[in-house]
Structure 1
Amino acid sequence: MSKSPDAFRTISEVADWLGVQPHVLRFWESRFNQVKPVKRAGGRRYYRPNDMRLLGGIKKLLHEDGITIKGVQRILREQGVAHVSSVSQGLDEMANLEPAPDANVVVPFTAKPAPPHEQIHLDLGDAQKPEPTPAPAPPKAEPAAQAQPSYPDASPLLGGIATLAWTRDAFDDQLLSQIAPIAQELRSVLNRIENRSAG
């Protein structure tokens, strides 16, 4: 059932009609004191047809004609609300909008499957890249009574660049000297973050 052309409209309906977000209408209300929607309990705004025509004129002047907010304010002062309202799009376009969906209707949601993870290999500029050492197989499940073993000499189970970085012999001294300033800067950033979160 469609509303009468003289019916009051909600902020969402007017925003859809104008093709803007509701916060834009609230912003315009703060900049143009001529925009005075009816406010009900809870601060809900209802726009009369004249309010809508004024907002439509403001939108045209700002978005289509490229006039600044101060320029539109000057036009409203000098030429009046009737002039600005006269350049608005027609209210008959409001009837073409579909009614807003009922907030109580549940729409089924189907999640898209996650894309497969790809291994990223970084070329660190080493002329003779050593073959990456394969990641060790995960340890077999042990009874709960035993503690998890540590692997101080084994490469991490990440593979790729992390595996290469784990062993010192995978990089030459020149490459390490190039990476060192970056690592020091990263360490200082991490220290600042830790200090802020601790304090």
Structure 2
Amino acid sequence: MNKSAEAFRTIGEVADELQIPKHVLRFWEGRFPQIRPMKRGGGRRYYRPEDMELLRGIRALLHAEGYTIRGVQKILREHGVDQVKAAAQRVAAALAATPPTPSVRKRGRKPVTKVAPPAVHEPQAKPRIDASTTEGQIQIAIRELELACAILRGQPINPIASPDDVKKSRAGRT
């Protein structure tokens, strides 16, 4: 059942339309005094069309443009509600202009951007590490951790320490 644009909406309908949880809407009501839904008996909220525009603008600023709650509060305080409502229209126009790209996104999290793995350097002559000192043992441990990180990231393994260094470091730890 589709409601007209002038109809009041419940918190569940607003949450579904904006794709945010209900508790976030309640939280925003506490942070932004400009959001004032009508409350009926039993505390049930009904959002007016003006409230919906404001909520769309707040969502656009927070989720699409990367503002913090304090940043949106400052915009509301200094520029008014109309500026926030305009943000929703800007984001909607930008989304309409760009072709949709398939992305997997969890609610409330920013999309993961793929970072190119760092370039693998050719092995150079390595200075010998004295595994009998604490500093040498720390350097060997750091190199082992770097190797483990490279393995976990799926990067090509470029061994930094020679097997002799690792054997000496293990012998020195006992």
For normalisation by structure 2, the TM-score amounts to 0.50
Give the structure with the higher percent helix: 2
For normalisation by structure 1, the TM-score amounts to 0.44
